[in-house]
Amino acid sequence: MEGNHFNLSVAIFAGGCFWCMEEAFERLPGVVDAIAGYTGGWIENPTYELVSTGETGHREAVKVIYDPSEVSYERLLEVLWRNIDPTDPYGQFADRGEQYRTAIFYLNEGQRELAEESKRRLELSGIFDEPIATEILPAKEFYPAEKYHQGYYLAFPGYYKRYKFYSGRLGFIKSVWEKNAHFRLFPEREHYWFGWVKPSNSELRKFLTPLQYGVTQLGLTEPAFQNEYWEDHEEGIYVDVVSGEPLFSSLDKFDSGTGWPSFTKPLEEWAVVEAEHYEGFLCGKEVRSRFADSHLGHVFEEPTPTGRRYCINSASLRFIKREELERYGYVAYEELFK
């Protein structure tokens, strides 16, 4: 472990080959260490050779040590789901057998509840046609694997990359998640976004249009009356086009006559950050999304039900229709429209 960390938490996941899971978690901000090892069985101090027989009850797993003030357990759960085939009950990709079966090993009741909820939300999304086979089990003794298994992706990068590719894991992850990139597991929870990593400028330019990039990253303003959502009246929510953070609801949207989407309040109190000072009498205060730090628009003091008008660029937003809330993981917001 590096640095001075206090009040660290532990999570244990089995996702097939522990080399791949170790990499997935250690690249996440807020994770202090991910230890490859064995758990779930009845043999004490197992070796790789013993576990590989598939007769010890143990599974290859990772013990994730993390700082909950920097990354949430919910975020760890999403990393797990996005790096496995959760519908496979017999192993993972080229690795077959009991020792490669996936599982979430909970250490307390809070972890169990979140794990169960994450599994339910993934099932509701319809991303997978087959049932979710990943088990949710009480944690047992965790045994660290041999030294040569620790940090394998760093020690043997060439061999590791070939293994991840030819095992089928890398292709599966790309095929499933590139077309479901907008899915979010617990978007309504503020601490869920801890550990979210904003893409680099080069990556942003790949999936944002020039206008979206100019508005969100450079603070430009799109033309009035010539933008996507200024007169949109469908039911749903508006999220940050970069991160998917929930920002506004159609229930709080109104026609201000300005030619830009206008809202009386944010969907979540924590979602929108205001500049400390007004930019000018006619400009109001700049507002940005909290975690992606996208430029959204401005807020004005006006005679609305809340005394405020949030004037937002359409290019900063992505609209999730009411009927698509489950599909993209925003299931908690369905209650708004009942």
String of DSSP letters for 188-233: T-GGGGTT--PPPHHHHHHHS-HHHHHHHHH---PPTTSSTTTT--
Task: Classify the phi-psi angles of 225: left when phi > 0, otherwise alpha if psi is within -120 to 50, otherwise beta.
Answer: left
Give CA–CA dist 204/194, Å, rounded.
20
CATH code assigned to 201-337: 2.170.150.20
List the one residue out of 101, 94, 78, 30 whose CA is nearest residue 180.
Answer: 78
Domain with CATH 2.170.150.20 in the chain: 201-337
Please say whether the beta carbons of 36 and 8 come within 8 A. Answer: no
| pTM for this model (two decimals) | 0.90
Which residues have CB under 8 Å from 73's CB, separation 6+? 9, 11, 110, 111, 114
Measured between alpha carbons, how far is 263 from 308 in angstroms, rounded to an integer? 8
**pLDDT (0 to 100) of residue 278:** 63
Domain with CATH 3.30.1060.10 in the chain: 9-188
Phi and psi at residue 275, in whole multiples of 5°? -65, 155
Identity at 211, one-letter amino acid code: L
Q: What is the pLDDT of residue 279?
A: 63
Q: Which of 37, 23, 31, 40 is nearest to 2 (CA)?
A: 31
**Per-residue pLDDT tens digits for 44-85:** 999 999 999 999 999 999 999 999 999 999 999 999 999 999
Kindly give the parts of the chain with pLDDT less than 50.
Answer: 1-4, 281
What is the predicted pLDDT for the residue at 6?
66
**Among 261, 259, 301, 256, which residue's Cα sits nearest to residue 283?**
301
Question: Topology of 9-188 in CATH?
Answer: Peptide Methionine Sulfoxide Reductase; Chain A (3.30.1060)
pLDDT at 284: 83
The pLDDT score that the predictor gives to residue 282 is 64
Q: Are 36 and 62 in contact (CB under 8 A)?
A: yes
Residues 60, 162 contacting (CB under 8 angstroms): no
Task: Kindly state the tokens that stand for 232.
Answer: 């949109």
Give the helix/strand (H/E) hosting 66.
strand 59-66
- Look-up: residue for tokens 């990039």? 213
* Sequence-distant (≥ 6) Cβ neighbours of residue 240 within 8 angstroms: 247, 289, 291, 292, 294, 296, 316, 317, 318
State the CB neighbour count (10 A cutoff) for residue 156.
Answer: 14
Contact 193, 243 (CB under 8 A): yes
Active site residues: 17
- Cα of 276 vs its chain's centroid, Å: 29
